[in-house]
Amino acid sequence: MASHEAGSNSKLHFVLVHGSGHGAWCWFKIRTLMETSGYKVTALDLKGAGMDLTDPNAVYTFEEHNQPLIHLLSNLTNNQKVILVGHSAGGLSLTYAIHHFGDKIQMAIYVAANMLKYGFTTDEDTKDGLPDLSRFGDISELEYALGRDNPPTSSKIKTKFQREILYHLSPIEDSTLASMLIRPSPSRAFSSVKFIPGPISDEVHRVFIKTKHDRVISREQQDAMIYRWPPALTFDIESEHSPFFSAPFVLFGLIVKAVETNVDMVMLQR
C-alpha cells in the first residue's frame, strides 16, 4: 500500500481518497493545513494510482483498486474510527467503505464526488454520476491492454484538456504539476461498480461539498445525487472540480466545520 501518514495527538484521523487519475499528491495543500492544525492524516494512493507501481491496465476490479483503503480500514482496532474525505470518483471508495466498514467510519465527506448508494446499478445512476465530457471533443487517451476487441483497460484526459476541464480556476503552477503526475485510470475497475448496502450504512453521517463551477460533475448531477441519497449536511464552495487546488483554505474550513457540526448533532441526540 502506498500511503503518506503523519501522526498527532488528536483523536481525529482523516483519510483522504483521491479521484480518477490522481493520487495522494493532489491533497498536498489540504494535508498541510490539517497537519499544522494538529490532525492525524493519511492520504492514500489507490492501487494503480499515484506512487503505487501497479500498472492500471492490470487492475480489473473495483475491490482491487480500492485495496489500500480496505487494508487500512481492516486494520483499525475496535475502538478506532476515521473521517473519510473523497474527491470525484473517490466517492465510490467512500460508499464502498460505508457499506463494508460502517462501524469504522466517524463521517464520510464527499467533495464533488460520486455519491451513489447502489453504485452504477440503474440508468439514473449513470445519468447522475457519470461525467459527460463530450462537449469538449475527443479528450481521452485510451489503452487496450486486452486487445481492441475488448473494452479499454485504462483512460486519461489528454494533457491539453486537463486545465480546461479539471483546473480552470486553479493556480497555473498547480495544474502544471498535476499534468506531470496524472496517470491513466483503471477503466475496467469502474465499469461495473455496484453496491449492496451494509447493516449500518445509513447510520454513517455523510456530508456533501458542492463545487459551484464544476465542469466534470455538473451542479445538476450533484443536486440529483444529494436528492436521491440525502446527506446530513451540504455545503457550497466557489470552485471548479478541484477545490484542493483552487480554494484549499475554504475547503479545509468546510471540512472542519462539517466535523464540528457532526459532533454537535451527536451530542444533541444523546
Q: What is the pLDDT of residues 199-215, one digit of tens each?
A: 999 999 999 999 999 99
pTM over cut 0.85 = yes
Crossing angle for the helix pair 90-101 and 67-74, to the nearest 10 degrees: 30
The H or E element spanning position 4 is strand 2-6
Strands 105-111 and 206-211: parallel
In which band, very low, low, confident or very high, does the pLDDT at 5 lie, cut at 50, 70 and 90? very low
Q: Which residue shows C-alpha cell 469502474?
A: 190
The 10s digit of each residue's pLDDT in 27-57 is: 999 999 999 999 999 999 999 999 999 999 9
Query: Is 103 an annotated catalytic residue?
Result: no
- H or E element: which one contains 127? helix 123-129
Q: Please classify residue 246 by burial: count the beta carbons closer than 10 Å to its beta carbon, then call 0-12 exposed, 13-18 middle and 19+ buried.
A: buried
CA neighbor of 225 nearest in space, from 99, 134, 91, 125: 125
> Of 20, 88, 155, 187, which is the active-site residue?
88
pLDDT at 191: 83
Q: Which of 214, 239, 242, 246 is catalytic?
A: 214
Residue 18's Cβ-count burial label (10 Å; 0-12, 13-18, 19+) is buried
Q: Which of 18, 87, 241, 242 is catalytic?
A: 241
Average pLDDT of every residue of the chain: 93
Contacts of 175 (CB under 8 A, 6+ apart): 162, 163, 166, 167, 245
pLDDT band at 11 (very low <50, low <70, confident <90, very high): confident
SS3 (DSSP) at 249: helix
Cβ contact 229:117 at 8 Å: yes
- Per-residue pLDDT reduced to its tens digit, 75-121: 999 889 999 999 999 999 999 999 999 999 999 999 999 999 999 99
Mean pLDDT of 62-84: 96
Q: What is the pLDDT of residue 269?
A: 55
Q: Is pLDDT of 9 > 50? A: no
Q: Is 205 a catalytic residue?
A: no
% of the chain residues with pLDDT over 90: 91
Q: Is the pLDDT of residue 260 over 70?
A: yes
Active site residue 241: yes
| Average of per-residue pLDDT across 133-159 | 96
Strand ranges (E), 100-166: 105-111, 140-143, 154-157
